[in-house]
Amino acid sequence: MSTWDSFSAGAKQFLNDVVFQYVPKLIVAVIVLFVGWKLINLLNRVMKRAYDRHKVDPSLQQFLHSVIDIILKVLLVLTAMGIMGIQMTSFIAILGAAGVAIGMGLQGTLQNFAGGVIILLLKPFKVGDYIEQGSYAGFVEGIQIFNTTLRTYDARKIIVPNTELATKSLVNHFNLPQRRIAIPIGVAYGESVDKAKEVLLKVANANPQVLQEPKPPFATLEKFGDSSLNMTLYAWTLPENYWTTLYSLNEEVYAAFRREGIEIPFNQMDVHIRKEE
């Protein structure tokens, strides 16, 4: 057999083995991936509408969406690999051999997944709550499979691993339907405490965001300071109105004290200069 005949026979064998056998499988696998990906996205939208219809907790919605989306897409990729003729037993054997290394590498990831499950079961917070944990603080935007997303007041996004929020202490400012405001105010010695309390309560009761439940506004003399009578105004408001109510009460109290002639003292320092003779 000539060299050309050998080359021709080899080329035909290559075409038969690669082009005619693997290319069709590759095309089918790509089609399956494309169609499957579209169907998974469609299923996610259908499930989202079902969640909304049955009023499923938004926190649980996002977590389930993450889990189901990842599982379905992994199964889709494995299916496409099977269509292409990749031996799954060999693939699984390779994964099994690397299981220890993968497990150690994914240890933190698995802990975050477990943390997400704990958060959903115990519900220390939910989507929309304002929480603080260590140096993190913000509104909960989403609880994903491995992390939780927070949005700060100045529109920054913080991504916190679930294990941080599931295993450490945190403060949930929206856990209860009302939140109490405490405003410390210094009043000069010699001023009438009763008059100051009357002005403070008048200001608080006139504010539309101040609630009368669970308790009406309350003002008291807390202690005698070095240069002032230290009073405190307590008032309740909705958690989402906390900051706006606090700031407006500060301004209104200051304006009311000025109108009523109630002095708010401030620290002063007297400097005596001694002339040496």
> What residues make up the domain containing 242?
179-260
Residue 52 included in any domain:
yes
Q: What is the pLDDT of residues 235-245, one digit of tens each?
A: 999 988 998 99
Total domains, the chain: 3
Residue 7 included in any domain:
no
Higher pLDDT, 179 or 24: 179
Read out DSSP for 140-190? EEEE-SSEEEEE-TTS-EEEEEHHHHHHS--EETTSSS-EEEEEEEEE-TT
Same domain, 66 and 127: no
The last residue of a domain, from among 97, 123, 151 = 97
Same domain, 117 and 74: no
Same domain, 58 and 128: no
Same domain, 23 and 90: yes
> What backbone phi and psi angles, to 5 degrees, belong to 263?
-85, 135
Do residues 79 and 32 lie in contact, with contact meaning Cβ atoms separated by under 8 Å? yes
**pLDDT confidence bin for 116, thresholds 50/70/90:** confident
pLDDT for the residue 204: 93
Same domain, 73 and 20: yes
Same domain, 162 and 184: no
With a cut of 70, say whether residue 231 has pLDDT above it.
Answer: yes
The last residue of a domain, from among 97, 119, 140 = 97
CATH number, residue 211: 3.30.70.100
Residue 2 included in any domain:
no
pLDDT for the residue 236: 94
Same domain, 46 and 79: yes
pLDDT (mean) for 249-268: 88
Residue 131 included in any domain:
yes
pLDDT (mean) for 187-205: 91
Please identify which residue in the block is written with the tokens 């109108």. Answer: 259
pTM score of the predicted model: 0.57
Residue 1 included in any domain:
no
CATH number, residue 40: 1.10.287
For residues 229 and 159, what is the distance between their CA atoms, to the nearest angstrom?
44
Residue 215 included in any domain:
yes
pLDDT for the residue 181: 92
pLDDT (mean) for 54-72: 71
Looking at residue 175, the DSSP 8-state letter turns out to be: S
Looking at residue 136, the DSSP 8-state letter turns out to be: E
Omega prior to 214 cis, within 30 of 0: yes
End-to-end CA distance of the chain: 126
For the four alpha carbons of 187, 193, 195 and 200, in that order, the dihedral sign comes to: positive
| Helix, strand, coil distribution of the chain in percent, nearest 5 | 55, 20, 30
